[in-house]
Structure 1
Amino acid sequence: MSTPREQSEPRMLVPSLVFVALVVAAVASLGAPLITTVATTFHVSLNSAQWTLTIALLAGALSTPILGRLGAGPHRRVTILGTLAVAVVGSALTVLPLPFAWLLVGRAGQGIGLGLTALMMGVARDHLPEERSAATISLVSVVSIIGVGAGYPLAGLLTEVGGVRAAYGLGLFVTTIAFLAAWRFIPEAPAGRSAHVDTVGALLLAGGLFLVLYLAGERSLWSHDLGVAVVLAVVAAVLLAVWTVTGLRGKAPLIDLKALRHPAVAGANLAMFVGAIGMYILLTLITRYAQTPHSAGYGFGLTTFVAGLVLVPFSVLGFVGGKLTPPMLKRIDAPFLLAGSAVIIVGGFVLFATARSNLVELLLAMSVLGFGVGSFSAAMPGVILAVTPKSETSSAMSFNYITRSVGYSLGSAVGGLVLSAGTDTGRIFPNDSAYTTAALVGIVAMAIATIASLVLARKRSPQGEPAVAPATAHDPSPSRSSQ
């Protein structure tokens, strides 16, 4: 006879997976609406305060491939609980009255949790029926993105009421609940698997990604120390090149790079990379525009809390788009849905570029962005998992989330560079026309994502199956992970 715990697991497994993915995304993004408050509270520059967001993104990008590989082995449950425990401890450090350096350490601990999204997908694929697992994986993918805006309004309100520590207290509360939910409802991985972590590969990838994201986040380095920036860029390229070569030759690489050469996987990752750049450009433009004071000649001068409310349509419509996508995938091939979603996001850019004179127009652009991002995110896993065995779900999706994280960072950097170039000497805020220029850059990025998705669709058969059968691209047997 099944125990009460066993009987409750099927009912609560899906909500737990979705909740964990939502929490880690929301908590990692808490730094965005709090940057100005952190600068004034800790008496640091805005550039230093920006690292409360950047370091979380860095930690997530660096931890994702390692957690993805661990998630392919027998200790996935322990990995999930251990990572959430780190996020809880990190959240506690952000709440305690400690110096600024400890706040950064805490934010890094919170950011590590971003690597759990791919593991949530692996759990769903292993422990749910095929149709239900596909819908759950799409939902996890969606909430991992719309979660970026889910915590903004509440964090802004808590900041205005109780200060920055109260806002970070929200992170401590929800990460603790996520840990308890995972401990109670997430089962062990199926027996017979093993996963070897390529330590050298992990260090090479971590070093290369750190430099890439650091260079993307430190925009002033390119203008004041161009030589240093170029040297660091070369070092990053060398580290990533060495990682690629060793990954292709190794027997148990951190990420199966040979599988990434499959047209479906390569095309999906390219679409995600450039798509993430475009998505984050528009998200950054709208939030900055909304908070720009009227004295700049444009903008709405919104407070942190009200500016956070601007992101509510993004999250709501993103959820709607994500929920509508799985039924559509039964009728439309996933790459075509990716292309259509990218076109919708282009529509959001066009709205922002041509109509932003009142707050309603801004909310409409954010709504269109959210719907497009939700649909794009829900369609993405189907493209990759169609040619990926169950045992490699976490690892395959972890690389996709690395490309997304790097794309987000570059999108933020590109948007900032364009706005900085459009700022007259002696002025704090950029010219209004700079926002239009940045929107045009985002349209180009989403156009590339659309083309990549359409090319991917052409490489698949008329029935929507991959041009190369999954069995020829991967060995689906569990022993593959233990090579």
Structure 2
Amino acid sequence: MTDTATESTPEVVGSRPLVPALMFIALVVAVVGSLGAPLITAVAGKFHVSLAAAQWTLTAPLLVGAIATPVLGRLGTGPRRRQVILATLATVVVGSLLTTVPPSFGWLLAGRVAQGAGLGLTALMMGVARDHLPEQRSGPTIALLSVASTVGIGVGYPLAGLLTDLSGLRAAYGMGLLITVIALAAAWWAVPQPPPGRSMAVDVPGATLLGAGLLVLLLAISQTTLWTRHPALAAALLAAAVVLLAVWVWRERRCATPLVDLALLRHPAVAGANVTMLLGGVGMYLLLTLVTRYVQTPAAVGYGFGVDVFVAGLVLVPFSALGFAGGKLAPPLRKRLEAATVLAAGGAMVLGALVVFALARGHLWLAFAVMGLLGLGVGVFSAAMPAAILAVTPAEETSSAMSFNQVVRSVGFSVGSALGGLVLGAHTASGATFPAESGYTAAAWAGAASMAVTIVISLVLRRTARARAR
């Protein structure tokens, strides 16, 4: 903690609601980012487009968020972090307005693209917390910010479903406009200027290369129909992403002001944490998508419960509630255990949820129980992740380091979603609408395997950290 940050702490914390504002902003961008998922069917019906086209209202903001996150993370290390936060939130507000009064599907999609920029703000909130809060408060706050960026998904789903059922699509997107305006006002009131002496240099060519590489990579991963219908094109996209990212690494190693500090990423603790986040994200998001899809499957198929969008959203309430509980549980655990041990514990809870879903899902209450256990594991896991990375990260690099971790999480989520889609697709008979129930079992075990590897890597990290300490 710098002297400047320490001196500014009493004014910032004493006269402005900094912590509630940071938490609210992180929660809002997560909720707005998740609005596309429960509204896909309603969008397709209102604008007379296919479900595949409507799916882009979810895919587009996620892609934009993954590209914007490392750029915002680097801007967040500079002297204009407050201005960057306000400008990004203003962009999200404009996007929210476009989604509320869309004359066409194209305008709605444009609004969702603008909203996606906000997904990169969580890392900046972490940088603000580390700079302007006392050490005993910054750690728990950063942990909860990490949790909010994930479990906020469970807040947006039921609200969007309820508003759509009661008042239509415009009401659901109107909620997004309202909360983003409030988030912008909260940021203007509470977020302070960063400590002086920060560099504002941004590697624009590096940002372009990384953005292009991530865009192509996530397109190749998220569009599962490419792998089933055009495997050669999917493989070509994946190869192009590898080339672009390799060129980006080559440039970053030679750049005086790199977008991401690769030397920091090579540190065993940081590298291990990012690999853990990648594999853990696969298992977490795979189960999230499996459960929400399973409960909406008509019972006439032979499984599922045929619930509507609102009830499917309610299934995620335990995910969010216990996710925040897990986030509050992680800091006390960190006082007694290494971060890697807490990561392994969170991963074990997610693994348990996947095993339960693979073996027993014949009653609706089991879906609620599985989502609660998943949320608890995700909360503990997400809250422990920043501690593993920031223990070896300079304060001024907080936003950049955590933004890269957020990108890794996005890639893991995309892989998990794609993996679930591919496995279920492989268990869907020709001409059938719904997959065989065995597809859900196979997908759950695939996620369990990913989480098992995650736990092993976490335990290896713990052993490595102890060896380095000795």
- TM-score bracket, normalised by the shorter chain, equals over 0.9
* Cα RMSD (Å): 1.5
Partner AA of 1:148 in structure 2 = I
Rounded to whole Å, the distance in 2 between the matches of 1:334 and 1:225 is 42
1:270 to 272, 275, 290: 275
Measured after TM superposition, the shift of residue 404 of structure 1 is: 0.2
1:190 to 176, 190, 195: 195
Partner AA of 1:254 in structure 2 = L
Aligned length: 462
| TM-score, length basis structure 1 | 0.94
Rounded to whole Å, the distance in 1 between the matches of 2:361 and 2:65 is 33
Contact map agreement 1:9 1:185 (CA 8 A) in 2: no
Partner AA of 1:112 in structure 2 = A
| Deviating more after overlay: 62-71 vs 103-112 | 103-112
Residue of structure 1 in register with 2:43 after alignment: 38
| Deviating more after overlay: 396-405 vs 164-173 | 164-173
Unaligned runs of 5+ in 1: 469-483
Rounded to whole Å, the distance in 1 between the matches of 2:121 and 2:444 is 32
Rounded to whole Å, the distance in 1 between the matches of 2:182 and 2:302 is 45
Rounded to whole Å, the distance in 2 between the matches of 1:210 and 1:98 is 28
Rounded to whole Å, the distance in 1 between the matches of 2:15 and 2:298 is 50
Measured after TM superposition, the shift of residue 46 of structure 1 is: 1.0
Residue of structure 2 in register with 1:365 after alignment: 370
Partner AA of 1:234 in structure 2 = A
Contact map agreement 2:12 2:18 (CA 8 A) in 1: no
1:283 aligns with 2:281: no
Matching of residues 363-442 of structure 1 within 5 Å: 363-442=368-447
1:209 aligns with 2:233: no
Rounded to whole Å, the distance in 2 between the matches of 1:238 and 1:86 is 31
2:459 to 454, 459, 466: 454
Partner AA of 1:313 in structure 2 = P
Contact map agreement 2:301 2:434 (CA 8 A) in 1: yes
Measured after TM superposition, the shift of residue 215 of structure 1 is: 1.3
Residue of structure 2 in register with 1:323 after alignment: 328
Measured after TM superposition, the shift of residue 467 of structure 1 is: 4.9
Matching of residues 92-171 of structure 1 within 5 Å: 92-171=97-176
Contact map agreement 2:16 2:190 (CA 8 A) in 1: no
Rounded to whole Å, the distance in 1 between the matches of 2:232 and 2:312 is 38
| Deviating more after overlay: 46-55 vs 223-232 | 223-232
Rounded to whole Å, the distance in 1 between the matches of 2:301 and 2:278 is 33
1:244 aligns with 2:233: no
Contact map agreement 1:33 1:304 (CA 8 A) in 2: yes
Structure 2 counterpart SS, 1:388: coil
Contact map agreement 2:296 2:307 (CA 8 A) in 1: yes
Contact map agreement 1:25 1:144 (CA 8 A) in 2: yes
Matching of residues 295-374 of structure 1 within 5 Å: 295-374=300-379
| Shift in CA distance, 173/243, structure 1 to aligned 2, threshold 3 Å | same
Contact map agreement 2:65 2:116 (CA 8 A) in 1: yes
Partner AA of 1:182 in structure 2 = A
Residue of structure 1 in register with 2:261 after alignment: 256
Measured after TM superposition, the shift of residue 6 of structure 1 is: 4.6
Structure 2 counterpart SS, 1:459: helix
Rounded to whole Å, the distance in 2 between the matches of 1:43 and 1:9 is 52
Q: Deviations over 1:117-146 (max 9, x none)?
A: 000000000000001000100011111111
Structure 2 counterpart SS, 1:330: helix
Unaligned runs of 5+ in 2: 1-6
Rounded to whole Å, the distance in 1 between the matches of 2:368 and 2:13 is 40
Residue of structure 1 in register with 2:4 after alignment: none
Partner AA of 1:301 in structure 2 = G
Rounded to whole Å, the distance in 1 between the matches of 2:26 and 2:161 is 21
Residue of structure 2 in register with 1:479 after alignment: none
Rounded to whole Å, the distance in 2 between the matches of 1:33 and 1:383 is 33
Residue of structure 1 in register with 2:58 after alignment: 53
Measured after TM superposition, the shift of residue 192 of structure 1 is: 1.0
Rounded to whole Å, the distance in 2 between the matches of 1:344 and 1:171 is 32
Rounded to whole Å, the distance in 1 between the matches of 2:147 and 2:404 is 17
Measured after TM superposition, the shift of residue 24 of structure 1 is: 0.3
Rounded to whole Å, the distance in 2 between the matches of 1:451 and 1:129 is 34
Residue of structure 2 in register with 1:443 after alignment: 448
Residue of structure 1 in register with 2:74 after alignment: 69
Rounded to whole Å, the distance in 2 between the matches of 1:182 and 1:329 is 30
2:24 to 19, 22, 25: 19
Contact map agreement 2:286 2:419 (CA 8 A) in 1: yes
Amino-acid identity (%): 59
Q: Deviations over 1:432-475 (max 9, x none)?
A: 1100000000001101111111111111137xxx659xxxxxxx
| Shift in CA distance, 43/198, structure 1 to aligned 2, threshold 3 Å | same
Measured after TM superposition, the shift of residue 8 of structure 1 is: 6.7
Partner AA of 1:267 in structure 2 = G
Q: Deviations over 1:330-388 (max 9, x none)?
A: 00110001011101100000111111000111111111000000000000000000000
Rounded to whole Å, the distance in 2 between the matches of 1:226 and 1:404 is 25
Rounded to whole Å, the distance in 1 between the matches of 2:131 and 2:237 is 41
Contact map agreement 1:85 1:179 (CA 8 A) in 2: yes
Residue of structure 2 in register with 1:477 after alignment: none
Measured after TM superposition, the shift of residue 7 of structure 1 is: 6.9
Measured after TM superposition, the shift of residue 43 of structure 1 is: 1.0
Partner AA of 1:80 in structure 2 = I
1:226 to 231, 238, 257: 231
